[in-house]
Amino acid sequence: MSTVQISAADVNKLRQQTGAGMMDCKKALTEANGDFEAAIDYLRKKGAKVAASRSDRESNEGVVIAKTTADGKRGVVVEVNCETDFVAKNADFIAFANSIADLAITNNPSSIEELTALELNGTKLADQILDQTGKIGEKIGVSKYEVVNGEKVVAYIHGNYRLGVLVGLSANAADADEAGKDVAMQIAAMNPVAIDKADVDARTIERELEIAKEQIRAEGKPEDMVEKIAQGKLNKFYKESTLLNQEFVKDSSKTIAQFLDSVAKGLTVTAFKRVQLGA
């Protein structure tokens, strides 16, 4: 039997690395004379599902959960990953992902780090994730966490938890829930880069103009026409890629801006987040 003193910090460190239980970690370190690698081997030999052995695995499967607070003023979307589609479809895994979204809704953390530091059922979420990794035998983790605040926030989940959207509206108008869902479905389908022209990143505009100019020159157009034609292509980009200027998928005679204005005068989108699994 080892005479090496095993500290609580050592036990916790091994637990963080492996996801194994506290007593199992203490026994493993004792048997291994405090050698962490040997302790991990000991755990594996005893049949423990060790999270550390999964650290190099890809966890590109999983689910995306989008939810809002009861008052509809704030929404969260989280992506919780695993390794296989089989686990992603498991009811217990989906319930665990939902509990993470509920934790975010209740506590309003500002980052994934703050989220995983919160307690879930009396235990830190980070430790719960390790426990899930040990139980399931796959690498589990939270890879994305987004928040939208607004006068009215609508959440939408598309494609069997593979894509989640949050839409913030400027007012909680009549039919706002239905309109918000329609806009969220638009965002899911069309993946806009920004709400409106003024919201497009300057680097994106520069890149689109540069690509347009090269295309125009390749077509043999005179140099004095390049800038004008490029601006026309940029306007087309705005129409196709900014939410309020896109044609409404359900009614191509209207833009999203016009559709929202028809629901309630002046109604518009103030923010949106789109999270796609593995993207």
> For residues 19 and 131, is the Cβ–Cβ distance under 8 A?
yes
User: What's the CATH code, domain 61-166+267-276?
Assistant: 3.30.479.20
pLDDT bucket at 2, cuts 50 / 70 / 90? very low
Using CA atoms, how far apart are residues 20 and 16, in angstroms rounded to an integer? Answer: 8
Q: What is the mean pLDDT of residues 87-109?
A: 97
Which two three-digit tokens encode residue 206? 């520069």
Residue 49, pLDDT score: 55
Residue 42 has pLDDT above 90, yes or no: no
Using CA atoms, how far apart are residues 153 and 157, in angstroms rounded to an integer? Answer: 14
Residue 1 has pLDDT above 50, yes or no: no
Using CA atoms, how far apart are residues 68 and 70, in angstroms rounded to an integer? Answer: 7
Residue 239, pLDDT score: 95
Chain region(s) in the chain for CATH 1.10.8.10 = 8-54
Residue 273, pLDDT score: 98
Residue 172, pLDDT score: 95
pLDDT bucket at 4, cuts 50 / 70 / 90? confident
> For residues 65 and 77, is the Cβ–Cβ distance under 8 A?
yes
Q: H-helix or E-strand containing 51?
A: none
pLDDT bucket at 21, cuts 50 / 70 / 90? confident
The region of weakest confidence among 39-43, 68-72, 254-258 is 39-43
> For residues 121 and 128, is the Cβ–Cβ distance under 8 A?
yes
Residue 50, pLDDT score: 61
Q: What is the mean pLDDT of residues 204-229?
A: 91
Residue 51 has pLDDT above 60, yes or no: no
Rg (CA), the chain: 25
Query: Higher pLDDT residue, 34 or 188?
Result: 188
**φ, ψ for residue 154 (rounded to 5)?**
-120, 135
Chain region(s) in the chain for CATH 3.30.479.20 = 61-166+267-276
Q: What is the mean pLDDT of residues 14-43?
A: 84
User: What's the CATH code, domain 8-54?
Assistant: 1.10.8.10
Q: What is the mean pLDDT of residues 226-240?
A: 93
In this prediction the pTM is 0.77
**What CA–CA distances, in Å, run from 225 to 204, 207, 233?**
22, 19, 12
Residue 48, pLDDT score: 59
In whole numbers, what is the pLDDT of the chain averaged over residues?
91
